[in-house]
Amino acid sequence: MVEEAKYTVVRMIGDIELRQYESMILASVPGLSDSEGFGILFRYISGGNRSREDIAMTAPVVSAAARQEKIAMTAPVVTDRESFAFVLPANYTMQTAPMPLDPRVHLIEVKSRLAGVIRFRGHAREALVRRKTTELLNALRENGLQAISQPFLMRYNPTFTPGYLRRNEIGVEVKL
């Protein structure tokens, strides 16, 4: 079992969880497809760093979700429109995370934040991601919560996992 990003569910709104995430460090690759980003980040956690240290794989992997609307940016984002990221194990800080050898890998500290999250199963294909993103944003708006980041897609399973067993989530940072 892999380590997951740490959070506490503070409130439920139907199928939506309001989660308080702990601070975390992301290894992120901007501007590439998910498959290209995955390969680069996998090399980083497999010793492709200055200390030649293997870093445990964690969940979820994070990428941009389908954007339905423009949301004003008022807070740090988890990922931008075209990035792919791994969450580093919780024992790392910006000072202790191994420095990447590949200049395309960026280490980013994401401070503790509140996020609205909706979970779904299956393959995270564009149409399903777009539908779940719309569902999440509408539910948050209807309940008086303001999205303050772009939505992000979180995937928890290896690619060989059958669709009905896959755990995926769409999240967005919110302000009460």
Cis amide linkage into residue 60, ω under 30° from 0 = yes
DSSP string over 80-99: -TTEEEEEPPTT--TTTSPP
**Structure confidence at residue 78 (pLDDT):** 45
132 located within any domain: yes
Whether residue 111 is predicted with pLDDT greater than 90 in this model: the reply is: yes
User: What pLDDT was estimated at residue 81?
Assistant: 52
pLDDT at 62: 94
Domain membership flag for residue 104: no
The reply to whether 142 falls in a domain is yes
Lookup: tokens for 119: 């979970």
**pLDDT of 5 strictly over 60:** yes
Do the domain assignments include residue 29?
no
- What 3 state SS string does 21-64 have? ECCEEEEEEECCCHHHHHHHHHHHHECCECCCCECCCEECEEEE
pLDDT tens-digit profile of 53-82? Answer: 999 999 999 998 754 444 333 333 344 457
Q: Is residue 103 part of a domain?
A: no
Among 124, 119, 108, 113, smallest CA distance to 161 is for: 124
pLDDT at 66: 57
Q: Which domain covers residue 156, as residue numbers?
A: 3-23+58-94+110-175
Whole-number pLDDT of residue 77: 35
* Whether pLDDT at 173 is above 80: yes
**Residue 49 resides in a domain:** no
| This prediction's pTM | 0.88
- Domain membership of residue 46 (yes or no) is no
Q: What does the pLDDT look like over 128-159, one tens digit per residue?
A: 999 999 999 999 999 999 999 999 999 999 98
Residue 168, domain member (yes or no)? yes
Report the percent of the chain where pLDDT is more than 70.
Answer: 90
Two tokens at 103? 């200049």
Cα 145 to Cα 6: distance, rounded to the nearest angstrom: 22
Tell me what the mean pLDDT of segment 116-120 comes to.
Answer: 98
Q: Give backbone dihedrals phi and psi of 87, rounded to 5 degrees, phi first.
A: -85, 125
Q: What is the pLDDT of residue 33?
A: 86
Q: How many folded domains does the chain comprise?
A: 1
